[in-house]
Structure 1
Amino acid sequence: MTLIKSISGIRGTIGGPAGDNLTPLDVVKFTTAYVRFTASEHPGKRLRIVVGRDARISGTLVSDLVEGTLLGCGADVIDVGLCTTPGVELAVTAHDADGGIIITASHNPRQWNALKLLDARGEFLSDAQGKRVLELAGQTDFSYPEIDAVGRVLSRESYNDEHIRRVLALPLVDADAVRRRRFRVVVDAVNSVGGVVIPRLLRELGCEVIELNCDPTGEFAHNPEPLPENLTGISEAIVREQADLGVVVDPDVDRLAFVSEDGSMFVEEYTLVAVADYVLRHTPGNTVSNLSSTRALRDVTERHGGHYYAAAVGEVNVVAKMKEVGAVIGGEGNGGVIYPELHYGRDALVGVALFLTHLARTGLTMTQLRKTYPAYYASKNKIQLTPAIDVDKVLLEMKSRYAHENVNDTDGVKIDFPTCWVHLRKSNTEPIIRVYTEAQSMAEAEALAQRFMDEIRSLGQA
Structure 2
Amino acid sequence: MTLIKSISGIRGTIGGTTDENLTPLDAVKFASAYGAWLLKRNTAGSKLKVIIGRDARISGKMISSLVSNTLVGLGIDVIDLGLSTTPTVEVAVPLEKAHGGIIVTASHNPKQWNALKLLNEAGEFLNGEEGNLILDLAASQDFDYAEVDDLGVYSKNKNYLKKHIQEVLNLPLVDVEAIKKAGFKVVVDAVNSTGGIVIPQLLDALGVQCIKLYCEPNGEFPHNPEPLPKHLTEISKLVVKEQADLGIVVDPDVDRLAIINEDGSMFGEEYTLVACADYVLSKTPGNTVSNLSSSRALRDVTQKHGGVYEASAVGEVNVVALMKKNNAIIGGEGNGGIIYPSSHYGRDSLVGVGLFLSHLAHLKISCKALRDSYPSYFMSKNKIELTPQIDVDSILNAMASTYKNEDISTIDGVKIDFENEWVHLRKSNTEPIIRIYTESNSQENADALAQRIIDEIKVIAKI
Q: State whether residues 125 and 316 of structure 1, in contact with CA within 8 Å, keep that contact through their aligned partners in structure 2.
A: yes
1:20-419 paired onto structure 2 within 5 Å: 20-43=20-43, 44-419=45-420
Given residue 84 of structure 2, which amino acid in structure 1 is its aligned partner? C
Structure 2 Cα separation of the partners of residues 124 and 429 of structure 1: 15
Structure 2 match to 1:439: 440
Instruction: Quote how far apart the aligned CAs of 1:40 are.
Output: 1.8
Q: Secondary structure of the residue that 2:200 maps to in structure 1?
A: helix
Instruction: Quote how far apart the aligned CAs of 1:7 are.
Output: 3.2
Given residue 457 of structure 2, which amino acid in structure 1 is its aligned partner? I
Structure 2 Cα separation of the partners of residues 232 and 313 of structure 1: 28
Q: Secondary structure of the residue that 2:25 maps to in structure 1?
A: helix
Structure 2 match to 1:2: 2
Given residue 84 of structure 1, which amino acid in structure 2 is its aligned partner? T
Structure 2 match to 1:17: 17
Which has the higher mean CA deviation after the structures are superposed, 39-48 or 426-435? Answer: 39-48
Q: Secondary structure of the residue that 2:453 maps to in structure 1?
A: helix
Q: State whether residues 191 and 213 of structure 1, in contact with CA within 8 Å, keep that contact through their aligned partners in structure 2.
A: yes
Q: State whether residues 187 and 244 of structure 2, in contact with CA within 8 Å, keep that contact through their aligned partners in structure 1.
A: yes
Instruction: Quote how far apart the aligned CAs of 1:428 are.
Output: 0.8
What RMSD in Å do the two structures reach over aligned CA positions? Answer: 0.9
Structure 2 Cα separation of the partners of residues 215 and 154 of structure 1: 25
Q: State whether residues 388 and 461 of structure 1, in contact with CA within 8 Å, keep that contact through their aligned partners in structure 2.
A: no
Deviation by residue 1:406-443 (Cα, 9 ceiling, x = unmatched):
00000000000000000000001111100000000000
Instruction: Quote how far apart the aligned CAs of 1:156 are.
Output: 3.2
Structure 2 Cα separation of the partners of residues 425 and 211 of structure 1: 37
1:413-428 paired onto structure 2 within 5 Å: 413-428=414-429
Structure 2 Cα separation of the partners of residues 108 and 49 of structure 1: 25
Structure 2 Cα separation of the partners of residues 155 and 21 of structure 1: 29
Deviation by residue 1:83-104 (Cα, 9 ceiling, x = unmatched):
0100000010110000000000
Structure 2 Cα separation of the partners of residues 8 and 232 of structure 1: 32
Structure 2 Cα separation of the partners of residues 273 and 228 of structure 1: 18
Q: State whether residues 8 and 428 of structure 1, in contact with CA within 8 Å, keep that contact through their aligned partners in structure 2.
A: no
Instruction: Quote how far apart the aligned CAs of 1:5 are.
Output: 1.1
| Residues matched between the structures, number | 462
Structure 2 Cα separation of the partners of residues 195 and 93 of structure 1: 25
Q: Secondary structure of the residue that 2:174 maps to in structure 1?
A: coil
Which has the higher mean CA deviation after the structures are superposed, 379-388 or 187-196? Answer: 379-388
Structure 2 Cα separation of the partners of residues 45 and 11 of structure 1: 30
Q: State whether residues 169 and 354 of structure 2, in contact with CA within 8 Å, keep that contact through their aligned partners in structure 1.
A: yes
Instruction: Quote how far apart the aligned CAs of 1:46 are.
Output: 1.5
Deviation by residue 1:9-29 (Cα, 9 ceiling, x = unmatched):
210000111001100010010
What percent identity do the matched residue pairs reach?
Answer: 63
Gaps of 5+ in 2: none
Given residue 18 of structure 1, which amino acid in structure 2 is its aligned partner? T
Gaps of 5+ in 1: none
Q: State whether residues 389 and 459 of structure 1, in contact with CA within 8 Å, keep that contact through their aligned partners in structure 2.
A: no
Given residue 109 of structure 1, which amino acid in structure 2 is its aligned partner? P
Instruction: Quote how far apart the aligned CAs of 1:348 are.
Output: 0.2
The runs of at least 4 consecutive aligned structure 1 residues that moved more than 2 Å come to: 140-143, 154-158
Q: Secondary structure of the residue that 1:261 maps to in structure 2?
A: coil
Q: State whether residues 395 and 424 of structure 1, in contact with CA within 8 Å, keep that contact through their aligned partners in structure 2.
A: yes
Q: Secondary structure of the residue that 2:172 maps to in structure 1?
A: coil
Instruction: Quote how far apart the aligned CAs of 1:141 are.
Output: 3.8
Q: Secondary structure of the residue that 2:268 maps to in structure 1?
A: coil
Structure 2 Cα separation of the partners of residues 352 and 79 of structure 1: 26
Given residue 15 of structure 1, which amino acid in structure 2 is its aligned partner? G
Structure 2 Cα separation of the partners of residues 141 and 340 of structure 1: 36
Structure 1 Cα separation of the partners of residues 142 and 357 of structure 2: 53
Given residue 52 of structure 1, which amino acid in structure 2 is its aligned partner? G
Given residue 62 of structure 1, which amino acid in structure 2 is its aligned partner? I
Instruction: Quote how far apart the aligned CAs of 1:454 are.
Output: 1.2
Given residue 369 of structure 1, which amino acid in structure 2 is its aligned partner? L
Structure 1 Cα separation of the partners of residues 41 and 155 of structure 2: 21
Structure 2 Cα separation of the partners of residues 434 and 344 of structure 1: 26
Structure 1 Cα separation of the partners of residues 322 and 168 of structure 2: 23
Structure 1 Cα separation of the partners of residues 102 and 447 of structure 2: 38
Task: Give me the TM-score of the superposition, normalised by structure 2.
Answer: 0.99
Q: State whether residues 88 and 161 of structure 2, in contact with CA within 8 Å, keep that contact through their aligned partners in structure 1.
A: yes
Structure 2 Cα separation of the partners of residues 284 and 230 of structure 1: 35
Q: Secondary structure of the residue that 1:11 maps to in structure 2?
A: strand
Q: State whether residues 302 and 309 of structure 2, in contact with CA within 8 Å, keep that contact through their aligned partners in structure 1.
A: yes
Which has the higher mean CA deviation after the structures are superposed, 385-394 or 167-176? Answer: 385-394
Q: State whether residues 82 and 158 of structure 1, in contact with CA within 8 Å, keep that contact through their aligned partners in structure 2.
A: no
Structure 2 Cα separation of the partners of residues 238 and 393 of structure 1: 47
Instruction: Quote how far apart the aligned CAs of 1:115 are.
Output: 0.2
Q: Secondary structure of the residue that 1:224 maps to in structure 2?
A: coil
Structure 2 Cα separation of the partners of residues 236 and 122 of structure 1: 38
Q: Secondary structure of the residue that 2:108 maps to in structure 1?
A: coil
Instruction: Quote how far apart the aligned CAs of 1:140 are.
Output: 3.4
Given residue 454 of structure 1, which amino acid in structure 2 is its aligned partner? D
Structure 2 Cα separation of the partners of residues 150 and 212 of structure 1: 43
Given residue 132 of structure 2, which amino acid in structure 1 is its aligned partner? K
Structure 2 Cα separation of the partners of residues 144 and 200 of structure 1: 41
Q: State whether residues 36 and 143 of structure 2, in contact with CA within 8 Å, keep that contact through their aligned partners in structure 1.
A: no
Instruction: Quote how far apart the aligned CAs of 1:50 are.
Output: 0.3
Deviation by residue 1:170-210 (Cα, 9 ceiling, x = unmatched):
00010000001110100000000000000110111111110
